[in-house]
Structure 1
Amino acid sequence: MRRRVLPGFHLSLGITLFYVGLIVLLPLGALVVKAGSLGFEDYWRIISSGRAVASYRVTVLSAAAATAFNVVFGVALAWVLVRYSFPGKRLVDAIVDLPFALPTAVAGIALTTLFAPGGWFGFFFDRIGVQVAYTPLGIMIAMAFTSLPFIVRTVQPVLEDLDPALEEAAQSLGGTDSEIFRRVILPLLTPALLAGVSLAFARSLGEFGAIIFIAGNQPFETEITALLAFIRLEEYDYQAAAAIASVMLIAAFVMLAVTNLLQSRALRYTQRS
């Protein structure tokens, strides 16, 4: 009988379900129960208030813009790290993971210091009449900084595993560089890219520490939903905080469901091709 390194299926499944229930389902269940204790009219009044709707708009639009930027920059960065050798490559590769290791509050303070009107970068932006700190642009930069690794680290392994023969065959058939990337490489990257996009967007939606220092936190202008929920907690209005948080929870579930659907379709298309 072959010896198994890992414990049996039943024990592994039991430990996994216990962990998921304790760490994930229990807090989410408490949130749903707290929000459900409100009547529908009170729940709707809280989540549809002008200030709440404004926070949704700021959060979602900023997260979408940050994710769109990271799709372009993250794929380009992953491409450079995989396809080229240059001095300092290992350092650049390590810096990509810096947002994972750096406390988000520290990142927020650093970004505010850099992009404030008197900061190293903010000084130059201020000279051309562009204010970054305490504006939605600052929120986008903070979100892009904290979510960039999700794009790079999901695309990078796929690029490393791509068979060079596919590109060579496309070149022999007269394909240009742009056509090869669009018709050969991009379809193979799509499932991983969709996973990275969903993770980056979800991280941006829930980001807090890196944003509150650079955002300015002005209601209706630069106040994100996570901060509004935190404010309600500080006011001991736990039901309102739970109601606002539940909106983001529902949005995250819908986004993940749509992303999984798109991933499965992209994977089937890739396999047929």
Structure 2
Amino acid sequence: MGLGVATLWLSLIVLLPLAAVATKSFEKGPDGFWDAVTAPSAKSALTFTLGVSVLVALINVVVGTLIAWVLVRDEFPGKGVVNALIDLPFALPTIVASIVLLSLYGPRSPINVNLVATKPAVVLALLFVTLPFVVRTVQPVLMELDAEAEEAAASLGASNVVIFRRVLLPALAPALLSGAGLAFARAIGEFGSVVLIGGGIPRDTEVASQYIATQIEVDRPVNAAAVSVALLAISFLVLLVLRVVGARAARRH
């Protein structure tokens, strides 16, 4: 009974919409699909989105791990507030995030930093919305780690770098890969947080989701569907590879 309900729900919510998009993308045949995803503007948007998503995931793996470490191992005034702020991008509508970033880094910036319609602005917006995925993935693992192994390594003269590489990293690797995959998947499909601050300049700061929206507006649904399928395929492959690698790392540990 439970399996049947789960399968039905998965089919209605995930599989059928994906099948509909895939069918639409091949409405003009394989050649039409290929032409749609390799058009200069589409190729530029996909390449830029892929590159910036990888960059954002890598940055947040480092920064997110550091924040998770501080939240787990250190005690300081306002720790509860910081913990709550980490979850803010989960609850905040992404268009609101774009407005906030525009207010801070726009033409009337109170800190005199104008990043509107630049690639750094896109990176900044995606960093904001993807940070919690890494922190909340790594944090529970850090909470479960036994500090005695670190203390023993330190007592034997191991440096902090060696302790992290030999003691902590093997245990954290599956969580880091999972967090990186989630951050990448969120970044590659993000729209709201970049729509204002990023500018959406074709072949420059336009991400794939903005390109898709533009194709819908100009009544080219097949092109929009084709790029959507390309994004879905990239996300699925990245998440699958990271899951397999993470599972192997967990077994070795």
TM-score bin, normalised by smaller chain: over 0.9
> Of the candidates 64, 86, 107, which is equivalent to residue 74 of structure 1?
64
1:36-75 alignment runs, 5 A limit: 36-75=26-65
Cα distance in structure 1, aligned partners of 2:9 and 2:109: 45
1:141-152 alignment runs, 5 A limit: 141-152=124-135
Cα distance in structure 2, aligned partners of 1:252 and 1:187: 25
Q: Secondary structure at the match of 1:215?
A: coil
Amino acid at match of 1:226: S
Amino acid at match of 1:59: T
Amino acid at match of 1:267: A
1:1-273 alignment runs, 5 A limit: 11-121=1-111, 123=112, 125=113, 131-270=114-253
Q: Give the TM-score taking structure 2 as reference length.
A: 0.97
Q: Is the 8 A contact 2:116 2:199 kept in 1?
A: yes
Q: Which runs of 5+ in 2 are unaligned?
A: none
Amino acid at match of 1:184: V
Cα distance in structure 1, aligned partners of 2:110 and 2:167: 42
Cα distance in structure 1, aligned partners of 2:78 and 2:116: 30
Output the aligned Cα RMSD: 1.1
Q: Is the 8 A contact 1:58 1:136 kept in 2?
A: no
Q: Give the TM-score taking structure 1 as reference length.
A: 0.90
Bigger Rg, structure 1 or 2: 1
Which shifted more, 242-251 or 172-181? Answer: 172-181
Amino acid at match of 2:192: G
Which shifted more, 89-98 or 58-67? Answer: 58-67
Amino acid at match of 2:245: L
- Superposed displacement of residue 36, structure 1: 2.1
* Segments ≥4 residues shifted beyond 4 Å: none
Q: Secondary structure at the match of 1:120?
A: coil
Q: Percent same amino acid among aligned pairs?
A: 42
Q: Is the 8 A contact 2:26 2:32 kept in 1?
A: no
Alignment length (residue pairs)? 253
Cα distance in structure 1, aligned partners of 2:6 and 2:133: 24
Q: Deviations over 1:104-138 (max 9, x none)?
A: 000011111111132124x0x3xxxxx52210110
Cα distance in structure 2, aligned partners of 1:120 and 1:157: 37
